[in-house]
Structure 1
Amino acid sequence: MTDASHRAAVAERAARAGGVVAREQFRGSLSVESKANKNDLVTETDRDAQRQVVATIREAFPDDGFLCEEELSIVAGPESDRDAEAVDSVPENGAAWVIDPIDGTANYVRGMRLWATSVCAVVDGDPVASVTYLPSYGDLYAVGPESATRDGTGLSVSGRTDPETFAVAPVGWWDRDARAEFGRLCGAIGDRFGDIRRLGSFQATLAHVADGALEGLACTRPMNPWDTLAGVHMVRRAGGTVTDLDGEPWSHDSDSVVASNGEAHEALVAAGNEALARD
């Protein structure tokens, strides 16, 4: 087994393990806290699930770094993950794992089923394997060196070409003093495309672009790598296009995200720029 294949197998095993922890506590009695604002939530289950993901990976790759949504110092528990190395950003050299234990915590807290456990293996700055697991649905999206699948079936972006038939998702959220930008984004998408969806989980939304359920998404704000990296890798491997609002190839430090099936991508970029009131 090659190193990349091994990482793909471990990514799948870790995402499943963390997702099971979250699923077992779903719709139970949750300990919920706020982080940056009243709607930026974290639960003790996020930490439990992340602890399981990290411990599973460290059994195979004990010396790798971790870039996680929740602080490793907070989730540290068993000896197997107590000394896990936290990194501040996606490293240009070496191996690291980018983890979101529950992407869509607000959905999770409300008892909505659309949330994901996301794991991405990175080597020398580039994804080599990524997994997005939707535990409440039982769907697992996995990309390795030789395959890109949902539950074993090959991933492919939508083949639609008529923008009037597209379903497109605005992604992200804005503080109240910038809420008008979200309204402009929805309006610009509505003017150019057939329908709008907002799902509440960035990784799940990217997975649905990869599997053809959505034709695209647009986010006008910078997002964290754990919200984006795994899913962007999936969309690209499924034949889609991912750029920033300047039309440049997206990278983990880009200030915006536009992902599509490659058809009418320029119109989606234009919608994002209209939201920012940029020419």
Structure 2
Amino acid sequence: MTDTDERAAVAERAARAGARVAHERFRSDIEVETKGNADVVTEADRAAQRTVIDAIRETFPEDAIVGEEEEERKTVPETGAAWVIDPIDGTDNYVRDIPVWATAVAAVVDGEPVAAAIVAPALDDVYTADAEGAYRNGEQLSVSDVSDPKRAAVAPTLWWDFDSRDQYAAACEAVVRRFGDLRRLGAAQIVLPTVAAGGLEGVISNLAANPWDSVAGVFMVRQAGGRATDLDGNRWRHDSTGLVVSNGALHETVLAATRAIDDRD
């Protein structure tokens, strides 16, 4: 087993373990705290993150951890090995008893993802990606081949705060004026692997994504044949501004839609 293979195995094992902890508490009488206007957190988030970290530490005790909750670091190191984790992506769905949420784990080396796992236990889906490709429940994934915008479904993603609702509205308008339909799932780490699986043709946001909301899913899209760039059309990185993801065939139209959010086009 190569180092990358081992990281892929650990990513899946850790994501499954964290998702199991979160799922045990799903649709229970769990206390909800507010971190910001609509940013919520629960003890399930914290317990799941601790479980994910423990699973990683069993094999890679010295690696850096980038995590959403508690005191873990918040940026991806440019050198060395690291893990980027989100114990529950889609917590607002989680606390509303909506099953669209997931535990995401990405293995990163020198700033670039090399493996990822996203486990959505309430949907009974396990997404993984390694050096060879991306998979859902063990079956290899490929982005859709849709090239006609009128047949495409595109999702605005990430959270536009209350003082940026004009941008949120612009994002929705940019989609419905260019594409056949819009989806808003409320969990970026569900939306991104859905592009990898061919269920969506694109994802748009003019915001800078937190790494835990994006790195694992972007890696899956790329391993399934899709494309991810920033607002300028450059290859997306964990520190990019803008998240423009597509099946490749429609990327220029998806990019134009994203740039329209703040009148770049």
TM-score normalised over the length of structure 2: 0.98
Per the alignment, residue 48 of structure 1 pairs with 47
Count of aligned positions: 265
Q: C-alpha separation between the residues in 2 aligned to 1:230 and 1:23? A: 20
User: Which whole-Å deviations, capped at 9, do the CAs of 1:18-75 have from their partners, x for residues lacking one?
Assistant: 00000010000111111122x1000000000001000011011111110000024xxx
Per the alignment, residue 22 of structure 1 pairs with 22
| 3-state secondary structure, aligned to 1:212 | coil
**What letter matches 2:66 in structure 1?**
L
Residues 194-209 of structure 1: matches in 2 within 5 Å?
A: 194-209=180-195
- Alpha-carbon distance, 1:264 to partner: 2.0
Q: C-alpha separation between the residues in 1 aligned to 2:192 and 2:111? A: 20
Instruction: List gaps (5 residues or longer) in structure 2.
Output: none
Q: C-alpha separation between the residues in 1 aligned to 2:97 and 2:24? A: 13
Per the alignment, residue 3 of structure 1 pairs with 3
Residues 180-195 of structure 1: matches in 2 within 5 Å?
A: 180-195=166-181
Identity across matched positions, percent: 55
Quick check: 1:210 aligned with 2:192? no
Question: What is the Cα-based RMSD across aligned positions, in Å?
Answer: 1.0
Q: C-alpha separation between the residues in 1 aligned to 2:257 and 2:218? A: 19
- Alpha-carbon distance, 1:159 to partner: 1.2
Quick check: 1:270 aligned with 2:256? yes
- Alpha-carbon distance, 1:249 to partner: 0.8
| 3-state secondary structure, aligned to 1:248 | coil
- Whether the 8 Å CA contact 2:191–2:203 is kept in 1: the answer is yes
| 3-state secondary structure, aligned to 2:122 | coil
Per the alignment, residue 78 of structure 1 pairs with none
Quick check: 1:228 aligned with 2:227? no
User: Which whole-Å deviations, capped at 9, do the CAs of 1:88-111 have from their partners, x for residues lacking one?
Assistant: 411111111000000000000000
- Alpha-carbon distance, 1:219 to partner: 0.8
Per the alignment, residue 31 of structure 1 pairs with 31
Per the alignment, residue 78 of structure 2 pairs with 92
Between stretches 177-186 and 253-262, larger displacement belongs to 177-186
Q: C-alpha separation between the residues in 2 aligned to 1:200 and 1:220? A: 16
- Over 3 Å off, 4+ runs: none
Per the alignment, residue 261 of structure 1 pairs with 247
- Whether the 8 Å CA contact 2:201–2:250 is kept in 1: the answer is no
